[in-house]
Amino acid sequence: MSLFGNPAPTDPPHPRKEPRLPGPLTSERLAEVFAGCVDFNRRSVAVGGNQALRCELIFLAGMVRMERVSDYVLRPLAQDKALGELGESIAWEKMRAGALYGLSVTERDTLDDAVSDLIDGNCLLLFPGKERALSFNVGTEEKRGIAGPENEVSVKGPRDSFVENLRTNTSLTRRHLKCPELRITEQIVGRQSLTPVDILWIDGIADPNTVKEVEARIQNIDIDALLATGNLEEYLIDDLDTPFPLALTTERPDRFCYGLCQGKVGILAEGLPLGWLLPGVVGDFLRTPQDRADNWMLASALTVIRWVCLLVTLFFPAVYVAMVNFHPEAIPTRLALSIMAARRDVPFSALFETLMLLVAFEILQEAGLRLPQSMGQTVSILGGLVVGSAAVEAKLISPAVLVVVAVAGVAGYTMPSQDLAGALRLWRFLLTLLAGLAGLLGVVAGAGWLIGHVAGLESFGAAWLDPFADGEPVLRQPLPADKLRPAHLNPQNRRKQK
Partner 1 sequence: MQKKYSVLLLILALAATSGLPHGRELEERQIITALCVDRFDAEISLTALTAVRASENEEPELLTAQGFDMDSAIQSLQSARASQAYLGQTEKLLLGEGIAASELLKTLEYVLDHHDLRLDTLLYVVKGSAGEGLSATAPTVSGETPGRDERGVSVAWALSQLCEGRKVEIPALALGDKGSLEPAGWAVLAPSGLLGYTGKTVTASVCWEGARYG
Residue 480, CA distances (Å) to 47, 200, 292, 496 in order: 65, 27, 12, 10
Smallest gap, in angstroms, from Cβ of residue 118 to partner 1?
51
Is the separation of the CB atoms in 440 and 326 below 8 Å? yes
Residue (3 or 38) nearer to partner 1, CB: 3
Is the separation of the CB atoms in 41 and 58 below 8 Å? yes
Of 24, 128, 208, 328, the one binding partner 1 by CB under 8 A: 328
- Which residues, 6+ apart, have CB-to-CB distance to 12 below 8 Å? none
Residue (326 or 464) nearer to partner 1, CB: 326
Stretch that binds partner 1, among 260-268, 279-287, 406-414, 440-448 (CB under 8 A): 440-448
The answer to the question of residue 334 lying near partner 1 (CB under 8 A) is yes
The answer to the question of residue 329 lying near partner 1 (CB under 8 A) is yes
Smallest gap, in angstroms, from Cβ of residue 6 to partner 1?
19
The answer to the question of residue 225 lying near partner 1 (CB under 8 A) is no
The answer to the question of residue 333 lying near partner 1 (CB under 8 A) is yes
Of 106, 140, 325, 365, the one binding partner 1 by CB under 8 A: 325
The answer to the question of residue 380 lying near partner 1 (CB under 8 A) is no
> In the range 335-354, which residues lie near partner 1 by CB under 8 A?
336-341, 343-344, 346, 349-350
Distance CA 99, CA 125 (A): 13
The answer to the question of residue 242 lying near partner 1 (CB under 8 A) is no
Stretch that binds partner 1, among 177-185, 299-307, 318-326, 373-381 (CB under 8 A): 318-326
Distance CA 306, CA 371 (A): 29
The answer to the question of residue 495 lying near partner 1 (CB under 8 A) is no
Of 196, 279, 442, 491, the one binding partner 1 by CB under 8 A: 442
The answer to the question of residue 324 lying near partner 1 (CB under 8 A) is yes
Residue (228 or 394) nearer to partner 1, CB: 394
The answer to the question of residue 356 lying near partner 1 (CB under 8 A) is no
- Which residues, 6+ apart, have CB-to-CB distance to 228 below 8 Å? 272
Of 441, 454, 474, 475, the one binding partner 1 by CB under 8 A: 441
Contacts with partner 1 by CB under 8 A: the residue count is 27
Query: What is the separation of C-alpha 239 from the centre of its chain, rounded to a whole number of angstroms?
Result: 18
Residue (255 or 343) nearer to partner 1, CB: 343
Smallest gap, in angstroms, from Cβ of residue 341 to partner 1?
6
Residue (176 or 343) nearer to partner 1, CB: 343
Site residues for partner 1 per CB under 8 A: 324-326, 328-329, 331, 333-334, 336-341, 343-344, 346, 349-350, 434, 437-439, 441-442, 445, 449
